[in-house]
Amino acid sequence: MRFWDGLNRYLAYRLKEIEFRFHTWKRSREISRAYDARSAGKVGGGGVAVAAPYALTAVKFAGVAAAVCLLVFGVVKALPLLSLAIAAKPGGDDLFAADEDRRLSMPEPPEDAVLPEAAVLPEGYAELSVSAVPQDSVRIEAPPPPPPLPPSPSRNLVEVFKAGIPRGVSEEWLILVDKASKALYIFKGGAGGWEVARSFPIATGEADGRKMVEGDKKTPEGVYFIVGRKHRSELTNVYGPAAFILDYPNDDDRRERRTGYGIWLHGSERGGIPPLFTQGCVAVANQDILEIAGLLRNWAGVPVVIVSGTEDGRKHFAAVDFQKMKSRGEEVVRYHNEKQAEFEALVTGWKSAWESRDIDAYSSFYLTSSFADGATRWDAYRERKERLFRAYSSIYVDLSNIVLTEYTDNIATVKFYQVYNTNVNNRMENAKRLIFRKDQGNWKIYREIPFSKEELLL
Residues 290, 174 share a domain: yes
Query: Is residue 456's pLDDT more than 80?
Result: yes
Q: What pLDDT shows up at residue 375?
A: 84
Report residue 81: phi and psi, to 5°: -65, -40
For 67-76, 95-104, 299-308, which range has the lowest pLDDT when averaged over its residues?
95-104
Q: Are residues 128 and 271 in the same domain?
A: no
428 pLDDT higher than 80: yes
Q: Are residues 162 and 310 in the same domain?
A: yes
Classify residue 407: in a domain, yes or no.
yes
Is 166 buried (19+), middle (13-18) or exposed (0-12) by CB count in 10 A? exposed
Q: What is the DSSP letter of 454?
A: G
Residue 156 pLDDT exceeds 90: no
How many Cα neighbours within 13 Å face the side chain of 243?
Answer: 22
**Does 359 lie in the same domain as 312?**
no
Domain count, the chain: 3
Whether 59 is in a domain gets the answer yes
Does the residue 410 lie in any domain? yes
Interacting residues of 246 by C-beta distance below 8 A, sequence separation 6+? 220, 224, 225, 226, 227, 263, 264, 265, 304
According to the model, what pLDDT value does residue 390 have? 94
Residue type, 355: E
Q: Looking at residue 380, what is its pLDDT?
A: 96
Do 265 and 129 lie in one domain? The reply is no
Residue 29 φ/ψ, nearest 5 degrees: -65, -40
Last residue of a domain, one of 320, 348, 375: 320
Which amino acid would we find at residue 23? H
- Report the CATH number that the domain containing residue 368 is assigned in CATH: 3.10.450.50
Give the whole-angstrom CA distance, residue 178 versus residue 199.
Answer: 11
Cis peptide before 249 (omega within 30 of 0): yes
User: Do 405 and 445 reside in the same domain of the chain?
Assistant: yes
Q: Is there a single domain that holds both residue 163 and residue 300?
A: yes
Poorest-confidence range of 268-282, 310-324, 381-395?
310-324
Alpha helices by DSSP H, 106-181 = 125-131, 155-164
CA dist., res. 204 & res. 180, Å (int)? 10
Are 315 and 347 in the same domain?
A: no
Entry pTM = 0.65
Closest C-alpha to 11, from 62, 26, 3: 3
Comparison of pLDDT for 93 and 55, the residue scoring more: 55
Residue 184 included in any domain: yes
pLDDT of res. 189: 83
- What is the rounded CA–CA span in Å between residue 456 and residue 291? 14
Establish if 447 belongs to a structural domain.
yes
Residue 429 lies in a domain: yes
The residue type found at 106 is: M
Q: Which domain holds residue 373?
A: 335-457
Query: What CATH number has the domain bearing residue 250?
Result: 2.40.440.10
The reply to whether 199 and 79 lie within a common domain is: no
Query: Is the domain of 100 the same as that of 189?
Result: no
Of the three residues 293, 320, 347, the one that is the final residue of a domain is 320
Domain end among 250, 285, 320:
320
In sequence order, what are the residues at sequence separation of 6 or more whose Cβ sits closer than 8 angstroms to the Cβ of residue 107?
Answer: none
CB < 8 Å & 24+ apart, contacts of 215-218:
215/260, 216/260, 216/280, 217/277, 217/278, 217/279, 217/280, 218/280
pLDDT of residue 219: 96
Q: Identify the weakest region by mean pLDDT among 45-49, 309-313, 432-436.
A: 45-49
> Which pLDDT belongs to residue 192?
73
According to the model, what pLDDT value does residue 235 have? 95
Q: What is the average pLDDT across 347-371?
A: 97
| 445 belongs to a structural domain | yes
Query: Across the strands, what pairs with 247?
Result: none
- Residue 201 Rama label (left phi>0; alpha psi -120 to 50; beta): beta
What confidence category does residue 135 fall into, taking pLDDT thresholds of 50, 70 and 90? Answer: very low
pLDDT band at 353 (very low <50, low <70, confident <90, very high): very high
- DSSP one-letter code for 273: S
293 in the same domain as 178: yes
Please tell me whether residues 20 and 130 are part of one structural domain: yes
Using the predicted structure, report yes or no on whether residue 246 has a pLDDT greater than 60.
Answer: yes
CB 243 within 8 A of CB 289: yes
**Does 150 reside within a domain?**
no
CB-based contacts of 237: which residues, under 8 Å, 6+ apart?
Answer: 269
Q: Can you tell me the distance from the alpha carbon of 366 to that of 374, in angstroms, rounded to the nearest whole number?
A: 15
**CB-based contact 186:198 (threshold 8 Å):** yes
